[in-house]
Amino acid sequence: MSHLHSRPSLADRGQSLGMRLITRAGGLEAMKNPALRARVEKVLYRGARQGFRAQVAAGRMFSAKPGSGAPTRSKPATPRHEFDLTPTDDQQMIRDAARELAEEVLRPAAARADAERHLPDEVRRQAAQMGMALLGVPAELGGVAEESSAVTSVLVLEELARGDMGLAVAVMSSAAVANCLVDYGDSGQQATYLGAFTDEHDPARGALALLEPQPLFDPARPQTRARRDGEQLILDGTKSLVPGAAAADLFIVSALVDGEARLVMVPPATDGLTVSDDPAMGLRAAHTGAVHLQGVRVPAANLLGTAADHADAVARARLAWAAAAVGTSQAVLDQVTSYTKERKAFGEPIAHRQAVAFTIADIAIELDGLRLVVWRAAALLDRGLDATPQIAHARSLVERHCAQIGSDGVQLLGGHGFVKEFDNERWYRDLRGAGLMEGVLLV
């Protein structure tokens, strides 16, 4: 499909986005027509689902499957060599769908999910139904992507985290595993694991676990080690703040292998792997746990990608966190903009005071600056170009400015910001995390 130059048919659209997304986005009322719907459904299934039938196994055992030839990867986007800040029609549709999910499902569930440290089944079901976890997976592999989708991913993460960062992480962390398989897996690994993650009804859960507990952690030098023993790897180490660790079907951990940081797939049921609870200041809806590896043996074939792929995953994860920070910062801006116009002190709205108004202006300025850096980095990635500097810049802006935005978001409400009457104290906790997390999310 070439949506730039020709008007795509309905079937094209259906295939590129996933019909669930389209109907949910409300972009096409016509999809409510059963005849039309059936036709698109047929196109979807014929084109996208062949070869990767969903497998639903009790306890989710992955049986090794042979792949055929070269792995399937996302295709790079074709640039137009123009400065442009307008998303494509497809991106806008997916973004609208994500916004709707964020506003109608995530935000209302956020406070309770944070308190209970639990992703409600209903939220998980709705997100899965909209195909949010499939955005980076090419149609040939059972997903909905036509080409590399870092821009789409940052737009979606931004919207979801505007709803709630903790729930966004809970919902999207399994997508990171799927994306790793798409981007770095060989055809056998894709055949063995990906089907479970693209299953429509009960997609597998997983986590990309890079972070470790020690201060000054550098993902390029993990303390987790993997020794080779014949055709096996023996892993030792600890991974921190792993979302949904207790219920995961698959971990992708980083470990030092032959002196290089690499990605290794580790099924949770492997001997020597234990999970303990690891609650943190924020991101509580993601129910973070620690993964302990003691003499854990996996086949050497569980190595995923190369050392360069590991570095790529680190960078893409940082960009994803920056996108999430943009969304939550936007939530802060939205809230303080209306609150300070309503809240009165000394006989007039506090927004009428420069000390308050300028703080809000600064939030907007730093937020927009970060958003543009995130978009630039994502667009570079989609073209297959190096985005290392931009991702480093985005992370630096998140570390400093988004923590400040979280703080200002509480400060502007005074005591009301400190109590759980409003969402602001949760945003304060979540925004502090976005600049220090590694792994977990992936664009």
Partner 1 sequence: MIDLEVPRKFVPLVRQAAGLADQVFRPISRKYDLAEHEYPRELDLMSAVIDGLSDSGASQGAGARTTSGGSAEPAGVGAGSRAAKSKGGNVNGSNLSSVLSIMQTCRGDVGLTLSLPRQGLGNAAIAAIASDEQKARYGNKWAAMAITEPDTGSDSGAIRTTAVQDGDHYVLNGEKIFVTSGERAELVVVWATLDRSLGKRAIKSFVVRRDNPGLKLQRLEHKLGIRASDTAAFTLVDCRVPAEDLLGDPEIRIEGGFGGAMQTFDNTRPLVAAMAVGLARASLDLATELLGRAGVTAEPSAPAHTQPYAAARLLQLEADYEAAYLLTLRAAWMADNGRPNSMQASMAKAKAGRTCVEIALTCVHLCGATGYAETELLEKWARDAKILDIFEGTQQIQLLVVARRLLELSSAELK
Strand partners, 206: 250
Specify whether the CB–CB gap between 186 and 300 falls below 8 A: no
Interacting positions 320-359 with partner 1 (CB under 8 A): 337, 340-341, 349, 351-352, 354, 357-358
d(CA 311, CA 324): 20
The region of 289-297, 299-307, 389-397, 426-434 touching partner 1 under the rule CB under 8 A is 389-397
103 binds partner 1 (CB under 8 A): no
Specify whether the CB–CB gap between 423 and 350 falls below 8 A: no
Q: Which of 81, 121, 258, 415 binds partner 1 (CB under 8 A)?
A: 81
Q: Could you tell me where the DSSP H helices lie in 130-258?
A: 150-163, 165-184, 187-189, 195-197
d(CA 397, CA 329): 12
Give kind and range of the element (H or E) at residue 397.
helix 388-397
Nearer to partner 1, 142 or 305 (CB): 305
Other residues' Cβ atoms within 10 Å of the Cβ of residue 87: 15
* DSSP-derived secondary structure for 355-368: HHHHHHHHHHHHHH
Interacting positions 283-322 with partner 1 (CB under 8 A): 311, 314-315
The region of 204-212, 232-240, 247-255, 368-376 touching partner 1 under the rule CB under 8 A is 368-376
d(CA 115, CA 72): 41
Nearer to partner 1, 125 or 400 (CB): 400
Interacting positions 391-420 with partner 1 (CB under 8 A): 391-397, 399-400
Nearer to partner 1, 64 or 308 (CB): 308
Task: Name the minimum Å distance from CB 367 to partner 1.
Answer: 10
247 binds partner 1 (CB under 8 A): no
DSSP 298: E
Task: Name the minimum Å distance from CB 396 to partner 1.
Answer: 4
151 binds partner 1 (CB under 8 A): yes
The region of 55-63, 73-81, 109-117, 191-199 touching partner 1 under the rule CB under 8 A is 73-81
Task: Name the minimum Å distance from CB 216 to partner 1.
Answer: 5
133 binds partner 1 (CB under 8 A): no
Contacts of 326 (CB under 8 A, 6+ apart): 154, 158, 161, 367, 370, 371, 374
Nearer to partner 1, 44 or 431 (CB): 431
87 binds partner 1 (CB under 8 A): yes
Contacts of 374 (CB under 8 A, 6+ apart): 154, 158, 319, 322, 323, 326, 394
Sign of dihedral through CA atoms 339, 341, 347, 350? positive
CA distances to 26, 169, 194 from 130, in Å: 12, 16, 18
86 binds partner 1 (CB under 8 A): yes
378 binds partner 1 (CB under 8 A): yes
What SS3 state is found at 118? coil
Nearer to partner 1, 132 or 374 (CB): 374
232 binds partner 1 (CB under 8 A): no
What SS3 state is found at 263? strand
Q: Which of 29, 80, 259, 415 binds partner 1 (CB under 8 A)?
A: 80
119 binds partner 1 (CB under 8 A): no
Query: For residue 111, what are its two tokens?
Result: 């406070």
Nearer to partner 1, 189 or 390 (CB): 390
| Residues binding partner 1 (CB under 8 A) | 4-5, 77, 79-88, 91, 151, 216-218, 220, 311, 314-315, 337, 340-341, 349, 351-352, 354, 357-358, 360-362, 364-366, 368-370, 372-373, 375-376, 378-380, 388-397, 399-400
